Amino acid sequence: MVVTGMRNTRGVSVIAVAAMLLGSYGLSAFANDGPKVMYHEMVGNATARDRYVADAWSRLEQLEAEQEEAVQVTVTLQRSVSPEDADKIVEELGLKLHAWEAMVGKGTVHRGTVGRISDDVADVIRRLQRDVDPNLTTNDIRVVALFGTIDPSDAVRARKNEDVLSIDPTGDKRVSGKEKSRFAPHLFWTFADYYNR
Amino acid sequence: MELARSWPVKLVVLTLAILLVGSVKALAAYTYSPISTTNPQESYSPDTISGRMGYDDRDLELMTQAFNMKWSLTRINNLRNYQAKDQYYTIDISVNNDYDTTVSAYTSTHYTDLPGPIFDTDDDGGLLGNGYVDETEVTVTRPDRLQALQAYQFISYWGVFDTSGTTFEWNSQLSEPFLGEYNAVDYEFHFEKTFPWW
């Protein structure tokens, strides 16, 4: 969350007003072609989500055609996986991993989410055991999204990977036009049944 | 003879004292701050929210927590109406000085049980930041999953570079997606807490 040029949790600046206006374009404001998709429209709506995902793939193809170097992306997985399986997916994709995000829970009972993890899983568990639940273990961690950099050509190839819902480059500054690259929000929560995936 | 009998006793006492001090030190390595609690007024904020910090002086690691966040059914309905406009609730825990260099949020390991969370961190000092991450937040993109009067929480972790002192703020925000992140269009300040608190 950024309101550039001032403390962003306080005053609502001219830029924030601009954000309000431009925000109506939703997450795909940067996708030049095709219908715009707002985040809430994708919640439980596969058609709207597919439109957004297709925009992201098109953008990656464009980056590949322009022979752009590695791009900063958010990878949304089709279903939650163990940290070990997430490692395999990272390798398959050729992703230079920056961080990952995971659901936390006992069995199928969703308890919470731990985000943007770049530390060892052991460190994450140590903190969660101390501050959330002393009984949590590595087995309670299920990865739902990956954040990293990838060559556009590798990303385009990953379209056939059945573990991957989308690879979204819209946080990269070359796509967003912003001063700093970021990671776009992942789409896992737009699944109506995400608790059980 | 008297000396010979007393030295083993002294040694035992000394050893026990060292062990005792060591164990007290170990027990005291992680401490929690006093708790702050308030009842926010804005239509998107929870009806109640509390905050505290925890500090690990071995790992120089600070935990900041918003907890006991409870929404009434009325306010959950407010959030669902905002959702229809692609506006979402965000809880933000930040240092109140963008140029602070005493702490920096880990860009990893945030925890929440809020539904559909999107985490974010920011380094706001100057155009490109000052290298110290001063803001942590989570946006709730699935308010339709909120349960009335259930207690929710958000935890973020910070590395501590020195303990000369800084102040954290807890704010609720109404946010909109904008170019791949969530921007605040309104906010409500809840409370601030100083670190260290002792």
Instruction: Tell whether A40 is within 8 A of chain B (Cβ).
Output: yes
Tell me if B38 is assigned to some domain.
yes
Is the CB of A113 less than 8 angstroms away from the CB of B92? no
Tell me: pLDDT of B24 over 60.
no
Judge whether B173 lies within some domain: yes
In this predicted structure, the answer to whether residue A75 has a pLDDT above a threshold of 90 is: yes
Q: Higher confidence at residue A189 or residue A6?
A: A189
Q: How far apart are CA A105 and CA A130, in angstroms?
A: 16
Q: What's the pLDDT at B103?
A: 78
- Average pLDDT, stretch B128-155? 88
Of B122, B135, B141, the CB nearest to A189: B141
Mutate to test the interface with A, among B100, B123, B170, B181 (most CBs of A within 10 A): B181
A114 confidence band (pLDDT: 50, 70, 90): confident
Closest CA to A3 of B137, B109, B45, B42: B137
pLDDT higher for B6 or A35?
Answer: B6
Q: Which of residues 141-170 of A touch B (CB under 8 A)?
A: 168, 170
Residue B11 lies in a domain: no
Long-range residue pairs from A9-18, CB within 8 A, at least 24 positions apart, any chain:
A9/B92, A9/B94, A9/B135, A9/B169, A9/B171, A9/B173, A9/B184, A9/B187, A10/B171, A10/B187, A10/B189, A12/B184, A12/B185, A12/B186, A12/B187, A16/B183, A16/B184, A16/B185
CATH at residue B97: 2.60.40
H/E run at residue A18: helix A14-23
Residue B26 pLDDT greater than 90, yes or no: no
Beta carbons of B107 and A116 less than 8 Å apart: yes
Q: What would the mean pLDDT of A147-160 be, rounded to a whole number?
A: 94
Chain A neighbors of B63, CB-CB under 8 A: 127, 131
**Segment B27-39, tens digit of pLDDT:** 458 899 999 999 9
Alpha-carbon span B43 to B173, nearest angstrom: 10
What does the pLDDT average to over B61-82?
A: 96
A117 — contact with chain B (CB < 8 Å)? yes
| B43 located within any domain | yes
Name the least confident of A64-78, A122-136, B63-77: A122-136
- Residue B83 in this model has a pLDDT that exceeds 80: yes
| Å between B142 CA and nearest CA of chain A | 7
- Residue of higher predicted confidence among A36 and A193: A193
| Amino acid of residue B186 | D
CB contact under 8 A, B63 and A117: no
Which region among A33-37, B37-41, B161-165 has the lowest average model confidence (pLDDT)?
A33-37
Examine residue B171 and state whether it is found in any structural domain, yes or no.
yes
For residue A6, pLDDT over 70 is answered with: no
ipTM of the complex: 0.77
Interchain contact A45–B (C-beta under 8 A): no
Coil/strand/helix, residue B93: strand
Higher per-residue pLDDT: B51 or B12:
B51
Range of the domain at B134: 33-195
Interface membership of A7 toward B (CB under 8 Å): yes
Residue A101, helix vs strand vs coil: strand
Return the higher-pLDDT residue of A10 and B159.
B159
pLDDT at B20: 58
For residue A28, the chain B residue with the least C-alpha distance is B179
**Domains identified in chain B, total number:** 1
Interface test with B, best of A4, A9, A183 (most B CBs within 10 A): A9
Residue B27 near chain A (CB below 8 Å): no
pLDDT band of residue B13 (cuts 50, 70, 90) is low
Q: What is the mean pLDDT of chain B?
A: 85
Q: Is residue B9 part of a domain?
A: no
B188 interfacial to chain A (CB closer than 8 Å): no
pTM of the prediction? 0.79
Contact B143, B100 (CB under 8 A): no
Distance CA B179, CA B193 (A): 32
C-beta separation of B179 from A30 below 8 A: yes
The secondary structure element, H or E, covering residue A122 is helix A121-131
In the predicted model, is pLDDT for residue B15 greater than 50? yes
